Structure 1
Amino acid sequence: MIKKIIYHSRIIISVTINTISTSHKVSPFYLIITFFLTLLKGISPLIFIYLTEKTVSSLINDLNDSTISATPFFFIFMQFLYLVVMEGINYIDRIINFRLYQKMEYYFNDETFSICTNIPLIYYDDLDYYNSLEKATTGIGKGSGVYLQEVRSFIQSSITFIGFVISLYVIHWSIALFLFFIVILLIGINIYTSKSDYEQFISQILKARKIDYFESLFKSKEVAKELRIFKHSPYLLTKWKGLFWLVSDEQYSLEKKNSRKLFTVSLLHFFLNFVFLSLIGFYVITKKITIGKFVALSQVLSNSINISYQLASALGKIFRDSLTLNDYYVFKDTVPSERSYLEYNSEMENFKSMRVDNISFSYPNHEHLVLKNISFEISAGKKVAIVGRNGSGKSTLVKCLTGLYSTVGGEVLVNEEPLTKEIREKFFSAVFQDFLKYEMSIHENIALTNDLDDEIENRLLKVIKRTGTSDLLHKYDLEISDNVGATLHGRELSGGEWQKIALGRALFKDSPIIILDEPTAALDPVSEAKIIEEFLDISIGKTSIFVTHRLGSCINADVILVMKDGELVEQGTHDELILLNGEYTELFNMQAKWYTQKEFEYN
């Protein structure tokens, strides 16, 4: 038990220091102002109770002396002034807090997005990692600001609480002890509640993701078509309802359990309040204290209920949210980054060759090898086709060639240097099967920049013309500054039109190596042949690697790599592979036969 308390205390201290340090980094001025205001707000209830006591006492004195003095009206005015000042403090506190929240949310989100863009791609295929990512980063931006507010609330409540304890101790030590007892009891319940909430959140991460997934299906334009054709909606609704109420019932059960504990403590608090109010009432009757002090102490006792809850609740929230924020700090410190080099190497100025040396690959937590002992070499300027049946490992090989996936044994060498993040950024561009459709302008989709100087515009127009994107500009009467994608009120495009824009993005980067991972799958055979032909034409002097399932496009490739069950079973030119009469020949003949049959049927 003691070890757990020490462990959690260390987490709270560590997270609090990190959060305050971050807020100081974000805005030292705002941080100092907020904590100064916290001090004022912590003292303020004591000031108001003091003014109330003085007002009542002076009124009673004037009543007893049958006189009218300025003293009661002075304290009434001071109460009015107090309320005006406190409203001003609250106003300043709100706007400063709001701005500080924004700055902290921006800082943490920026840091999170940087982490996400620099971790190895393979971690997105690892369920354990993805759950860690979800657990550590969900709401971290706003959560950090909320945590800082919770720390401030705890400090503010502590200042007020200490003042209340001292005030009650003057009357009787037992009253102060009672207040301590209630607060400790509430703190224990709130910490237990917060721990239960956190553990439930962790246990429900996967279920919550499933609920989000099913909810996204009902809002998806792509899914809407299938729901209407196959009538899947009743089944999907049943799945969603089951998960929703499974999670909701677990949360409801915990809420009832926690609320019962708080309700019991509240009843105890009210009972003891009744006892001690009766006690100080007795003190008034026996003239041990004045009526003014009775009013002040009764306010202290009444407010002690709220302040006890505030103090315990703030600490409970600090406990809960410190665990969440600690997940983020642990995640940030432990998540790996891609291999990188910092030293300048003159050999990396121009691309000369890529050597794949006996690489294998498997997904995290899986022993099965998706790629097995693959070796080949590509010289600068070569046109390389990667072919094979579905599931043969073509796309996985591409991810290994670009360093997006780390290999299990073996190495990918560029100019005889191990492949790194910087080498990929310098030498590679690619269009993948699941390329992105940016809901932005055509210019931004291709160039990914707002700049449009003469040099960028000339390059952009050449790329648009080469990829056939100019045709859709004429077709829809669009300018390069016009948005595409219907979600943000742009022009919706077909799959083939989107692919032309994605091809333009790859060509615009003007890298020495261009990879096309079946980007023309949505195009008809004629359009595909034209795109690949143009691609090969414009890639003269560059190294082009393309993955395709239509072998007719491979005839003009310098090297064809034939994949089967994760292995490189053949490599060579089209003529060389046909002579081998192996896997490539079988695939080629199957497709030739298919096209011949179709042509016969159409005729």
Structure 2
Amino acid sequence: MTGRIHRRPRSSPGRPHPQNWRQRIGEARQTLSNIPAAFRLVWQADRKHTTVMAMITLVAAGLPLAQAYVAQQIVDKVVAVVQQGLDPLTGLEQTLPWLLSEFGLITAGAVFMQLRSLSEHILNARLSNLINVTIMRKALLLDLHYFEDAQYYDKLQNARRETNWRAMAMVNTVFSAIQHILTLISFTTSLLWFSPLIALILFGATIPAFLAQTHFSRLRFRLLTWHAPEFRHMQYLEYLLTVDTAAKEVKLFGLGEPLIARHQVQFQRFFYEDATLARKRSLISMWWGIVASAGYYAAYGWLIWQTGAGVITIGAMTFYLTIFQRSQSVVQTLFSNLAQLYEGGLFLNNLFDFLALEPRISDGRNLPVPRPIRQGIEFRNVSFRYPDRAEWALRDINLHIAPGEKIALVGANGAGKTTLIKLLTRLYDPTEGQILLDGIDLRDYNLHELRQRIGVIFQDFVRYQATARENIGFGQIEEVANEARVRAAAERGGADEIVRRLANGYDTMLGRWFENGAELSGGQWQKIALGRAFMRDSEVLVLDEPTAALDAEQEYEIFQRFRDLTAGRIAVLISHRFSTVRMADRIVVLDNGRIIETGTHQELVAANRMYARLFHLQAAGYR
């Protein structure tokens, strides 16, 4: 787990790097085109404070020139008082209006700064929330295959990384850039009138620094984007080392330090490249900063010479010196703004790339789901393989499930049982063939309504860190406040006795993540999940290993009531326990994605094929 950290090559397949100036200009154009999109996001987050920031930007842009002019007047008035030998009180009276003007300008600047800071704070909070909600809603729309694809998580990682503050930073930077551009226009007008050569020296000396910053911004963005898998791996290791579900094994197997060592290997790999890039950026920036300072002091010396020669007054020298200082600062800030805009635009590309993902599952003709189901469900020549995989998960499946029929799916792990359920619930669509509900393809029904009509408990059900009421009520979220319905679902799933023993009943927090939470055993959690499945008013009930965590007595209790619990419904049951599946009307045996047997328990045992062999193997274990 330890060893030498090898530096990642600068380029690798699948990581395009613009090599010529045309490609770079194209990349810059595309990146900066995200500025309007960033403004739309901020405007959507909070229109009022966006408007306030825009108004402050326009007003604040004129303050520096006004302050420089007032400073010139104050100095010239003081010099005149000294040269004319006027009474100090008279001199103060002549200078006082300009002093008050400068005080007013400085006060206005301070007020504007605080108003802008307040608006920025509120906007940042609302924009962060908007982007997070937008990402979550996009994830809700995406099909299950995205969540089973590592590249999706890389895209999600990149979309989330720094996007919240980058979008706000881009808007702040644009406002800042507009303010500095307007200020620079006023300064430039004065400097060009005074000396075009000095204006060229002051402004030109800052251009190389801007180009260097832009170059390194692009390199840092690529570094962060390329390392998305490593960042996800680090987050996963952090999760393992800090979450309750993994704590027992981590401690008992002594995984702590080895996992931390793996975490550090990933960190060091990124840190080496990042630190190298940061050193180069600092060195180049320092060098061009010295060049810019040299230009400023050359202009400064020339200004002193002009004042000494009597070409301009001391007040004028103060005015131009202030403009010199402010101009270079404004230009440097403006170029820095542009570099930040470029870097922020690169990160927003990640967000917009993620939001551009499109689901493959659609509503088709958007037909209403029939109630009640009259003809049943039919798999007709259904074959399926997962995206980006060559092998078939299901092949040539033909199966009819009559209304109210209870069927069990049996087969080894990987035989295709859960995949068949994913197709039935339209988490995926068949690659070939059709699944019909009352003679109509599932793809033609309203997707939300179809899923509302199917109650499901998967083997890897979620243990929500929420109240017992919510853990059950989430099965029909619209009815989570319906006390009678929640209690009835808990009773049908066998969870009512568990909840009655909890300190606060249905209002008890389950899990240990939050204060006063109660942890349950695996079997207790499974009964809660069963209650969640029964919460839904559905005509199709899917139970994937519903008793896997229950002991023999609890399992017997559940299945003594199995027919009552599923009365009037189609029930699809997946289980490895033959004591469970024999209660079904019909048993379907799958092997390597194909149906190889179907019949009742007695029929399949009599056939003496795969089902009979598995049944006898399991029965032998109890002798």
Fold shared per TM-score above 0.5: yes
Q: Determine the structure 1 residue equivalent to 2:68.
A: 49
- Unpaired segments ≥5 residues, structure 1: 597-603
Q: Determine the structure 1 residue equivalent to 2:594.
A: 567
| Aligned pair partner of 1:461 in 478, 483, 487 | 487
Identical pairs, percent? 26
TM-score calculated relative to the size of structure 2: 0.90
Which amino acid in the other structure matches residue 437 of structure 2? V
Q: Determine the structure 2 residue equivalent to 1:348.
A: 370
Distance 1:411 1:451 in 2: 33
Q: Determine the structure 1 residue equivalent to 2:9.
A: none
Q: How does 1:176-575 map to 2 (within 5 A)?
A: 176-341=199-364, 343-345=366-368, 348-352=370-374, 353-420=376-443, 421-448=447-474, 449=477, 456-489=482-515, 490-575=517-602
SS in 2 for 1:410: strand
Does the 8 Å contact 2:157/2:232 carry over to 1?
no
Distance 2:585 2:272 in 1: 62
* Cα deviation, residue 498, structure 1: 1.5
Which amino acid in the other structure matches residue 372 of structure 2? N
Distance 1:278 1:413 in 2: 87
Does the 8 Å contact 2:218/2:343 carry over to 1?
yes
* Cα deviation, residue 341, structure 1: 3.7
SS in 2 for 1:71: helix
Distance 2:239 2:570 in 1: 40
Structure 1 residue 27 and structure 2 residue 46: aligned? yes
Does the 8 Å contact 1:183/1:311 carry over to 2?
no
* Cα deviation, residue 11, structure 1: 2.1
Distance 2:440 2:202 in 1: 70
Q: Determine the structure 2 residue equivalent to 1:600.
A: none
* Cα deviation, residue 548, structure 1: 0.8
Distance 1:564 1:89 in 2: 72
Summarize the Cα distance change of 1:154–1:417 in structure 2 as closer, same or farther, 3 Å threshold: farther
Which amino acid in the other structure matches residue 406 of structure 1? D
Which amino acid in the other structure matches residue 111 of structure 2? G
Distance 2:353 2:260 in 1: 37
* Cα deviation, residue 109, structure 1: 2.3
Does the 8 Å contact 1:133/1:331 carry over to 2?
yes
* Cα deviation, residue 451, structure 1: 6.6
Does the 8 Å contact 2:154/2:228 carry over to 1?
yes
Between stretches 297-306 and 513-522, larger displacement belongs to 297-306
After superposition, the C-alpha distances for 1:47-103 in whole angstroms (9 at most, x for unaligned) are 222222222222112221222332322222222222222222122212222222233
After superposition, the C-alpha distances for 1:467-520 in whole angstroms (9 at most, x for unaligned) are 222212233333212221210122122222121111111111121111111132
Does the 8 Å contact 2:380/2:397 carry over to 1?
yes
After superposition, the C-alpha distances for 1:417-474 in whole angstroms (9 at most, x for unaligned) are 2224235323212111221122221112211359766xx2111111122222221223
Which amino acid in the other structure matches residue 498 of structure 1? W
Return the structure number with greater helix share. 1
Which amino acid in the other structure matches residue 293 of structure 2? F
| Aligned pair partner of 2:612 in 565, 585, 590 | 585
* Cα deviation, residue 249, structure 1: 0.9
After superposition, the C-alpha distances for 1:320-351 in whole angstroms (9 at most, x for unaligned) are 22122233223323422521146444x62332
After superposition, the C-alpha distances for 1:183-236 in whole angstroms (9 at most, x for unaligned) are 332321121111111111111111111111112221122222112222122321
Does the 8 Å contact 1:355/1:414 carry over to 2?
yes
Which amino acid in the other structure matches residue 340 of structure 1? D
Q: Determine the structure 2 residue equivalent to 1:595.
A: 622
SS in 2 for 1:560: strand
Does the 8 Å contact 2:31/2:345 carry over to 1?
yes
Between stretches 518-527 and 539-548, larger displacement belongs to 518-527
**What count of residue pairs does the alignment treat as equivalent?**
593
Does the 8 Å contact 1:125/1:363 carry over to 2?
no
* Cα deviation, residue 13, structure 1: 4.8
- Unpaired segments ≥5 residues, structure 2: 1-19
SS in 2 for 1:476: coil
Q: Determine the structure 1 residue equivalent to 2:172.
A: 149
TM-score calculated relative to the size of structure 1: 0.93
